[in-house]
Amino acid sequence: MSLPASLFDPHRVLLDANLGSKKRLLEALAKLFSNDESEQNEIFEKLLERERLGSTGLGHAVALPHARIESLAQPCAAFIRLAEAVDFDSPDGDRVKLVVALLVPQEATDEHLKLLAGIATIFNQESLRQELSGAETPEAVLQLLTG
């Protein structure tokens, strides 16, 4: 299984980032997704709001922060590989090193759930996690995620 290529853009892939905390990670994701400071703040607040409901850590050092954004026309995703793992309150207690974030339009409930399930399924594969940990370029990451 792979993810739709339309979700990703190489400019929304950050490799070996030194972010240090969950909050700084969410801030970096908001920056990857946004075109301006106002949009960045809205995305950060929505991601943070979702985390307050419960951690989006999946286990296996993977997190899947996600949010619905009213002004968004199409779903989009970003990927960050951290240089040093951060605490994410994951169910298995593992610190997070691989992060895929998903933003969807406010009304895209079914699509949102299908995309989340698809992402969770592919990140359950140890071989993919290992390949992503070693990928050297954003394009290599996107090839692994989208096939």
Residue 105 pairs in a beta bridge with: 69
The alpha carbon dihedral of 37, 41, 47, 51 has a sign of positive
Token pair belonging to 99: 């992060």
In the structure encoding, which two tokens stand for residue 102, read together? 């998903």
For the chain, the maximum distance between any two Cα atoms, rounded to a whole number of angstroms, is 38
Phi, psi of 103 (to 5 degrees): -115, 135
Which residues are known catalytic residues?
A: 66
Question: Is 100 in contact with 78 (CB distance < 8 Å)?
Answer: yes
* Residue 28 burial (CB count, 10 A): 19
